[in-house]
Amino acid sequence: MIEAADQVHHTSKDSRFCNLCGEALGATYQVYEHAGSGRRLAICNACANRKVVCTSCGAPLADGHAQLSDGRPICSSCRTSAVDDVLTARRLYEQVIGVVDRELGLRVHRRPGFGLYSHGDMQRLQAALSQSPGGGGHLLGVYTKLGSQREIAVETGLPRLLMIKVIAHEYGHAWQGENCPFLTDVQLLEGFCEWVAYKVMGAVGAEAVQTRQLMAQGFYGNALRRIVALEVEGGIEAVLHTVRSP
């Protein structure tokens, strides 16, 4: 995530030249701080108005910027953590399956396939399934079942931790399909999957992501807190008993 400041006067923290075009900075300019890498960009006002921005963090991009495999622009900082090839994504998928088995004892006997899709493909899939993520926005991942075919579809280019979180959430839906197919409480359905992702995040050392999950406002935050309360009260078995109950 990039955090942008209002126009600021020159400080000793910044170069005297624009980090995009190389021109000398004026009396005022824009500063962007990349929360993930700590990178600080000092950008002249002309470059701050560029139309091409990073698809991940929103920072303005210079000419010759990098692109994801589906053509979306991305900055160099975000590109280092973006998962944009199917082999790497499949390794993360296998990692998630191992963590869920080891930490929660959950196994999907009919393992779904895994696909990495472009942003445009995910938009079309979202429209076909008539699904919208809580709070709006576009679909990052989904578990689909068509006849005997089952697949977890994830958008390419997601940062590594976000991709792990999305895969874990959708793997939770795959487990539900085998173990509690008649569960209709939407908050329980989605809260359980957020909880699976929450536990995976803890197992891979992403405590900051866990904190953001627990503090999230709206449907998914409330749903996760409901499941966490069940776990606090009765452990993992209490969670599984609740979602398995008709």
Instruction: Give domain limits for the chain.
Output: 2-79, 82-244
This prediction's pTM: 0.86
Mean pLDDT in consecutive groups of 10 residues from the start of the chain, 246 residues: 45 74 85 72 84 85 90 90 96 97 95 95 88 67 88 96 97 96 94 98 96 95 97 96 89
Residues 195/231, Cβ–Cβ less than 8 Å:
yes
Tens-digit pLDDT profile for residues 16-74: 888 888 889 888 888 887 766 667 788 888 888 877 888 988 888 888 889 999 999 99
Go through 151-164 and write b for each residue having 16 or more CB atoms within 10 A of its CB, e for each that does not. Answer: bbbbbbbbbbbbbb
Q: Which of 57, 83, 60, 81 is nearest to 70 (CA)?
A: 83
Contacts of residue 34, Cβ cutoff 8 Å, sequence gap at least 6: 1, 2, 40, 41, 57, 59, 75, 77, 78
pLDDT of residue 11: 54
Residues 41/142, Cβ–Cβ less than 8 Å:
no
